[in-house]
Amino acid sequence: MQLMRTPKKIDIDITNRCNLRCRYCYHYESAGDAGGDLPASEWLRFFEELNRLAVTEVTMAGGEPFIREDLKEIIGGIVRNRMRFQILSNGTLITDDMADFLVSTKRCNYVQVSIDGSVPDSHDAMRGKGSFSKALQGLMTLRRRGVRTAVRVTIHRKNVRDLEGIAKLLLEDIGLSSFGTNSAGAIGLCRKNAEMVQLTTEDRILAMGTLLRLTKKYDGRINAMAGPLAEARGWWDMEEARNGKKELTAPKRGYLTGCGCYREHLAVRADGVITPCTMLSHIELGRINRDDLVTVWRDHEALNALRRRQEIPLSRFSFCEGCSYLNYCTGSCPGLSYALTGEVNHPSPDSCLRKFLAEGGRLPDRALLC
Amino acid sequence: MDVKNPIANPLIVLREEFDDWAILFDPDTGNAFGLNPTGVFIWKLLDGKHDTDAIVGRLREEAEDVPEDAGEHARQFIASLEQQGLVGYEVQT
């Protein structure tokens, strides 16, 4: 597969600081939790390199990006260097002034705010008391001032029975065109708090069925790249492929093809260390403003090894031995796999359909997919 | 007499991706436009120093089997870029 000459997007942990400590945060207590923040001047210099490389987009996350007092200066650097940006936020620190600034740049693709409940209890259970009302206030401020917004709902044990209420709040009461969902993955703080946070098999069954039903009710306005909704669709695809009712093409099946992030983008930790992805923060590829980004992109052995991951057949793993889904599976996220097995080149156990079924799981009603 | 030479909008990003193909990215709108290798060649000469004839002349020097009506195609291509705000004109006196 051909490689782009330069990365198209860069995901930046613009800060290591956050005003919340969500119980399932993937950042804290992962390799991404990397000490102090770089000064704005370092980021501004880095953005000049990104401009020379024709990088078009920067995603700022953290930590909580709006905690940085110099965020406007940093965004100014993105704008000057001909890029667009998006910000992933908990929503609690957004002000009218900041929203107006974001609009004025004309370069903000969106601000994603995390809303995990329809009522304070289900949101605040993992994010801290008072965070629900502040997050909603932040979302409404952005919308009122004309900033494009996205909402991500992370599904966990305390909100899995509130999904109907969440959909109503976001799609009917607030009037979002859509929202995204995922679930707390076993990375960072979530791993430590797994018993409190992660969905049980019964919870997953409930979440898959509920989300499919709500997606039907709301004309497809709920989406997912990971988590129960994505799993319900992906696992049904595998089931139908196994039964000869469907052909699955891209990505190639039966190999570790679950993620192609590192063919399109790179990530940078808050300490300036370049990594393949925020989910693979332990793989250090270099440092901004010290190492040439193009050289890292094209020649770094660890990165190229990740790109060759797609050539590794699942039949190589004892974990997959005898699995009737093997030829229809992609092995899913390497970051999750690393967190759970200590190996990047391994299928993720958390995304395994056979394991889910063996633990008493069942796929939702097929009719809900139509 | 004033001579108008096309000049690329400096805000627009030429992003060369695979082989000699590229996209033009407008960061203000987020729109992207695909360019084939000939389009990329022409884009790089939209520096305000070359008129269309000079650009086609350079193309004939660099490439083989350039069709006779390449000048017309180049003019149409540059006009379409201008319509989309990707190119302007610098007036020389």
Alpha carbon distance A31, B40 (integer Å): 41
What is the pLDDT confidence band of residue A1, given thresholds at 50, 70 and 90? confident
- pLDDT bin (cut points 50, 70, 90) of residue A193 is confident
Nearest chain B alpha carbon to A85: B27
Q: Which residues contact A333 (CB under 8 A, 6 or more apart)?
A: A185, A226, A258, A259, A279, A348, A351
CA distance B1 to chain A (A): 35
* Residue A199 pLDDT greater than 80, yes or no: yes
Instruction: Tell the residue number behind the tokens 């089997």, with chain if given.
Output: B65
Average the pLDDT over each of A78-87, A159-168, B66-75 and give the range with the smallest value: B66-75
What is the pTM assigned to this prediction? 0.94
pLDDT digits (tens, 9 = 90+) for A320-359: 999 999 999 999 999 999 999 999 999 999 999 999 999 9
Q: How far is A60 from chain B (nearest CA, A)?
A: 17
Place of tokens 């000057």: A80
A1 touches chain B (CB under 8 A): no
pLDDT at A171 over 70: yes
> Do the Cβ atoms of A54 and B15 come within 8 Å?
yes
Question: Chain A partners of B35 at a C-beta cutoff of 8 Å?
Answer: none
Instruction: Report the residue from B12, B15, B30 with minimal CB separation from A109.
Output: B30
| Residues from B in contact with A at Cβ < 8 Å | 11-19, 25, 27-28, 30, 32
Listed in sequence order, the residues at least 6 apart from B29 whose beta carbon sits closer than 8 Å to its beta carbon are: none
Mean pLDDT of A3-14: 96
ipTM (interface predicted TM): 0.90
Q: Assign B91 a pLDDT band (cuts: 50, 70, 90).
A: low
Going by pLDDT thresholds of 50, 70 and 90, the confidence category of residue B2 is low
A56 in contact with chain B, both atoms CB, cutoff 8 A: yes
A59: which strand partners? A11, A86
Check CB contact under 8 Å for A54 and B11.
Answer: no
Q: Please, which pLDDT band fits residue A28 given cuts at 50, 70 and 90?
A: confident
B15 and A56 in contact by Cβ < 8 A?
yes
Q: pLDDT tens digit string along B25-73?
A: 999 999 999 999 999 999 999 999 999 999 999 999 998 888 889 899 9
Per-residue confidence band for A192, with pLDDT thresholds at 50, 70 and 90: confident
Mean pLDDT of A356-367: 96
Candidates A3, A53, A56, partner chain B, best to mutate (most B CBs within 10 A):
A56
| Segment A45-65 mean pLDDT | 97
Mutate to test the interface with A, among B9, B12, B15 (most CBs of A within 10 A): B15
- Give me the residues paired with residue A87 across strands: A60, A111
Interface of A with B in 63-92 (CB under 8 A): 79, 82-84
Contact assignment for B25 to A2 by CB distance below 8 Å: no
**Rounded to the nearest 10 degrees, how much is the dihedral formed by the CA atoms of A31, A34, A40, A41?**
-90
Helical axes B52-62 vs B37-44, angle rounded to 10°: 130
The values of phi and psi at residue B11, to 5°, are -75, -20
Q: For residue A157, what pLDDT is reported? A: 95
Average pLDDT over every residue of A267-284: 96
pLDDT at B66: 87
> Contact, A64 vs A314, CB < 8 A?
no
Rounded mean pLDDT of A190-196?
82
The DSSP call for residue A309 is G
Residue B1, pLDDT above cutoff 60: no
**Nearest residue of B to residue A104, measured between CA atoms:** B28
Q: Do B11 and A109 touch (CB under 8 A)?
A: no
Mean pLDDT of A14-27: 87
DSSP A287-298: ETTTS-HHHHHH
pLDDT value at residue A277: 95
Query: In the β-sheet with B13-16, what is the strand arrangement from edge to edge?
Result: B13-16, B22-25, B32-35
Range scoring the smallest mean pLDDT among A40-54, A213-227, A258-272: A258-272
Give CA–CA dist B25/A84, Å, rounded. 10
Question: In angstroms, what separates the C-alpha of A3 from chain B's closest C-alpha?
Answer: 7
How far are the Cα atoms of A97, B11, B28 from residue A104, in angstroms, in the given order? 11, 17, 11
Please, what sign has the CA dihedral across residues A97, A65, A150, A125? negative
Q: Which of A216, A324, A344, A219 is nearest to A281 (CA)?
A: A344
Q: Which of A92-96, A99-103, A189-193, A225-229 has the lowest mean pLDDT?
A: A189-193
Which residue of chain B has the CA closest to A103?
B28
- pLDDT tens sequence across B14-26: 999 888 899 999 9
A182 at B interface, C-beta within 8 A: no
Contact A179, A151 (CB under 8 A): yes
User: Chain B contact for A160, CB < 8 A?
Assistant: no
Residue A33: what pLDDT?
80
Residues of chain B in contact with residue A298, where contact means CB-CB under 8 angstroms, are none
Q: What is the pLDDT averaged over residues A79-93? A: 98
| Arithmetic mean of pLDDT over chain A | 95
| Residue in A closest to B10 by C-alpha | A82
Which residues in chain A are closer than 8 Å to B30, comparing Cβ atoms?
A: 84, 109
Q: Which residue has the higher pLDDT, A280 or A187?
A: A280
Nearest chain B CA: its distance from A143 CA (Å): 19
Burial of B65 (0-12, 13-18, 19+ CB in 10 A): exposed
A138-157 pLDDT, tens per residue?
A: 999 999 999 999 999 999 99
